[in-house]
Structure 1
Amino acid sequence: MSNLVSALNGVKSKGFAEVQELGLSGMITLRGDLASKEMAACMKSLGAAVPETRKVAFGDAVSVAWMSPDELLVLCDYAKTQEVQAQISDALSGTHFLAEAVSDARAHFRISGKAAHEALAKVMPVDFSAFEAGDFRRSRLSQVAAAVWKTQNGDFELVCFRSVAQYVFDVLTTASVAGSEVGV
């Protein structure tokens, strides 16, 4: 039997911002009618809400990110992914939806420190200085797709495809080299 490992095995670097790969994270892509009463009930059963456009709804056991007008990303404990996916399927039974676990296809990072927004601003075309807790964007990180949000404690979290995890870590590490702050 093989051992489960994350893309970068929890690697971290420290400059003016700390970059850390968060290890195995549960992620479920959920597509459907986000405005339906069934979707609202589903999210309530998970302990979160359907997030507003470009927002993340934080719950006790799950967080839910708005990905597009008909798509959410449900984040949960890796060990609970199948259980959460089954709960979603039960709650939305009889409606048109798709709930697919994508945990093993993604990498999850935390960018922290009082100047974390500066490291991100150097590599993504987003005004991170205006970000508030729960704000969310899908964009490009240098040459690859990524999704980023600000957590309730002021850190940033980012997900990307697992296949580009090393590249993303290297770009973020380079962007957070002490002494290269831009002062935004």
Structure 2
Amino acid sequence: MSKAVSALNGQSYDGFVRVAEAGLNGMITLRGDLGSAAFAAAMLSATGCAVPAQRQLVTAGGKSALWMSPDELLLLVPYAEAAPTVAALEVALAGEHALVADVSDARALFRVTGAKATEALCKLCPVDFAMMVPGEVRRTRAAQVPAALWHSGEAEWSLICFRSVAGYVMGLLTASAQKGSEVIPA
């Protein structure tokens, strides 16, 4: 059996902000009727998280649920807990119209940290960051690739993309974070 590795083995770059691939993370796509009582009960039982509202994220005990679309959530759990969480959700949602898929090895998670983290992301993502509030998730793009991002901590943003473009996204973030390329206020 091969050893699991993240997309970029935790590669990082320090510029005017720090950019780091966050290593192995459990990620589960969960699709179904987000308004269903059975769906909500399964979520709460398997993750401790309530179903998030539109474009929101809910965190409980180191696990998070991110709203992705009217019938889709992305669950973030410790990597080792992804398979058991999928199994628990499949049992809890048996008989419901739902899809549970472990996408841990198909996605890459980046953290952009520092006082000017928003500036680095502004160069890549067509998002009005000033209007985003804590707990809000935005599906967008980073240059030309699909991404989702959210404010994940004090001076920290998280960004998820497909693993197949992780190297490209790391290159974009690195170029965007190079010292001397900060946004100059008007």
What's the TM-score, normalizing by structure 1? Answer: 0.95
1:61 Cα offset (Å): 3.4
Cα distance change, pair 111–12 in 1 and its aligned pair in 2 (3 A): same
1:74 Cα offset (Å): 0.5
Cα distance change, pair 32–107 in 1 and its aligned pair in 2 (3 A): same
Counterpart in 2 of 1:67? Answer: 68
| Unaligned residue ranges in structure 2 (runs of 5+) | none
1:18-68 CA-to-partner distances (Å, cap 9, x unmatched) read: 110011110010000001111211222121111111111111131001010
Provide the C-alpha distance between the structure 2 equivalents of 1:47 and 1:61, rounded to a whole number of angstroms: 9
Cα distance change, pair 61–88 in 1 and its aligned pair in 2 (3 A): farther
Counterpart in 1 of 2:17? Answer: 17
Counterpart in 1 of 2:182? Answer: 181
| Unaligned residue ranges in structure 1 (runs of 5+) | none
Root-mean-square deviation over aligned CA pairs: 1.3
Provide the C-alpha distance between the structure 2 equivalents of 1:4 and 1:40, rounded to a whole number of angstroms: 31
1:96-124 CA-to-partner distances (Å, cap 9, x unmatched) read: 10000011111111111111111111100
Asked if the contact 1:133/1:153 (under 8 Å) is kept, the reply is no
- What SS does the corresponding residue of 2:123 show, helix, strand or coil? helix
Asked if 1:7 is matched to 2:4, the reply is no
Asked if the contact 2:116/2:155 (under 8 Å) is kept, the reply is no
Provide the C-alpha distance between the structure 2 equivalents of 1:183 and 1:97, rounded to a whole number of angstroms: 48
Query: What is the identity percentage for the equivalent residue pairs of Structure 1 and Structure 2?
Result: 51
What's the TM-score, normalizing by structure 2? Answer: 0.94
Provide the C-alpha distance between the structure 2 equivalents of 1:51 and 1:152, rounded to a whole number of angstroms: 18
Which portions of structure 1, spanning 4 or more consecutive aligned residues, are displaced by more than 2 angstroms?
A: 129-132
Cα distance change, pair 15–174 in 1 and its aligned pair in 2 (3 A): same
Provide the C-alpha distance between the structure 2 equivalents of 1:152 and 1:96, rounded to a whole number of angstroms: 35
Asked if 1:169 is matched to 2:170, the reply is yes
